Amino acid sequence: MAHLDLDAFFAAVEELERPELRDRPLVVGGDPHGRGVVATANYVARRYGIHSAMSSAEALRRCPQAVFVSPRKSAYSTYSQDVWRAVRDVVPLVERTGMDEGYLELAAAEGNFMRARELAEAVQVAVRAATSLSCSLGVAPSKVVAKIASDRRKPGGITVVPAGKEADFLAPLPIRRLPGVGPKSAARLEARGLTTVGALAALSDPDLRALLPGKYGALLRDRARGIDPRPLELSGETVSISHEETFARDIVEQGRLAEEVGRMASAVAERLQERRWCARTVTTKVRYADFSIRSRSTTLPVGTDDPERLAQVACSLLERALADRPGALRLVGVGASGFEPYRQLGLLEDG
């Protein structure tokens, strides 16, 4: 399996939409003059020791010239959806654990770590092509090792840990790098001179029970040895149906864009009808010439699979997006979600 982690995700999105920030220390988080907290920082800001969960006031103290921006959840969510759509085109089975990270099932490459690396590289290419964002991946036989490995060569790296090498890979790492080791457990272990993952892995049963009694201690020692039987929690649920296209040339004429959106809405309606579903939420997504993304959504009082209704709503959302930010578009998409497994009567919809 593999663990994928988008590199400084929130900050990377802000840099995409405001390229002038790329060479400046950038902090996404709360008010540095209040009680705000850093959500993430770009790699320029990290050179000053700024990291997530640090107080914004401390970040400002460390780097007075840093640019602070408030998080924009809706924008990050839009980019995240594009990322995971691109990932699933390469690796269909995915367990998302957040907007910016998740596990990938690489069963097709089981036991062949060269093939697994090739798949990881293909995922990176797909994500960058779809969003211009970079990601790092760790490939390993278990979740815990894959997650740690994905952080090894950031940004944009791939780390492969073959079967049988998990304990060797983990052994020299600081104990705090092991998922599940909190501040209190780390302090207790470090007070006994156990500062590395390998030292925890080597603990005897009596010593382990004295330091970390119960199932918790056994779980951590197993993880320190690279043992983690947790499978991917895969969901077969379809959360949205969408159709999007990148144009050969950027389009600025709103009438032409409306025609394209109407055609895509019809394609979405056809797929809804094939599944005998109705959708209550309609989304129109646009990507500008500078690769920045906007999406606008609305939820209908009654679900529909009618192509004309979907086109009407999608075109209205397109107008909203272009009113907020006019400009030539390189991509347009229409999506439907909030499914109902039946067709509402037209009388109810009219009402």
* Position 248 confidence tier, pLDDT thresholds 50, 70, 90: confident
What tens digit of pLDDT does each residue of 12-26 get? Answer: 999 999 999 999 999
Instruction: Verify that 116 and 172 share a domain, yes or no.
Output: no
What tens digit of pLDDT does each residue of 191-225 get? Answer: 999 999 999 999 999 999 888 888 889 999 999 99
Residue 62, class by beta-carbon neighbours within 10 Å (0-12 exposed, 13-18 middle, 19+ buried)?
A: middle
**Domain boundaries, position 43:** 10-71
Report residue 313: phi and psi, to 5°: -70, -45
Instruction: Verify that 100 and 143 share a domain, yes or no.
Output: yes
CA R_g for the chain: 24
Measured between alpha carbons, how far is 317 from 334 in angstroms, rounded to an integer? 10
- What mean pLDDT do residues 317-335 have? 93
Instruction: Verify that 342 and 257 share a domain, yes or no.
Output: yes
Q: Is residue 233 a part of any domain in this protein?
A: no
Domain end residue (candidates: 130, 160, 190): 160
- What mean pLDDT do residues 43-58 have? 95
For residue 108, what pLDDT is reported? 59
Mean pLDDT, the chain, integer: 90
- What mean pLDDT do residues 99-113 have? 80
Measured between alpha carbons, how far is 167 from 171 in angstroms, rounded to an integer? 6
Domain end residue (candidates: 137, 160, 183): 160
Residue 229, class by beta-carbon neighbours within 10 Å (0-12 exposed, 13-18 middle, 19+ buried)?
A: exposed
Instruction: Verify that 39 and 79 share a domain, yes or no.
Output: no
Say yes or no to pLDDT of 348 above 80.
no
For residue 294, what pLDDT is reported? 87
Residue in 22, 3, 2 with CA at minimum distance from that of residue 12: 22
**Cβ atoms of residues 293 and 285 within 8 Å:** yes
Residue 82's CATH number: 3.30.70.270
Residue 248's CATH number: 3.30.1490.100
Domain end residue (candidates: 136, 160, 184): 160
Q: Is residue 229 a part of any domain in this protein?
A: no
Q: Which DSSP string corresponds to 23-52?
A: TS-EEEES-TTTT-BEEEE-HHHHTTT--T
Q: Is residue 219 a part of any domain in this protein?
A: yes
Dihedral angle computed from the Cα positions of residues 32, 34, 39 and 45, in that order, rounded to the nearest 10 degrees: 10
Q: Is residue 231 a part of any domain in this protein?
A: no
What tens digit of pLDDT does each residue of 133-189 get? Answer: 999 999 999 999 999 999 999 999 999 999 999 999 999 999 999 998 888 888 989
Residue in 105, 120, 107, 101 with CA at minimum distance from that of residue 160: 120
H or E segment and range at residue 325: none
Preceding peptide of 141 cis, ω within 30°: no
The pTM score is 0.73
- What mean pLDDT do residues 50-63 have? 95
Say yes or no to pLDDT of 349 above 80.
no
Instruction: Verify that 339 and 278 share a domain, yes or no.
Output: yes
Active site amino acids: 101
Instruction: Verify that 261 and 184 share a domain, yes or no.
Output: no
Instruction: Verify that 181 and 208 share a domain, yes or no.
Output: yes
When divided into structural domains, the chain yields a total of 4
Instruction: Verify that 267 and 250 share a domain, yes or no.
Output: yes
For residue 183, what pLDDT is reported? 84
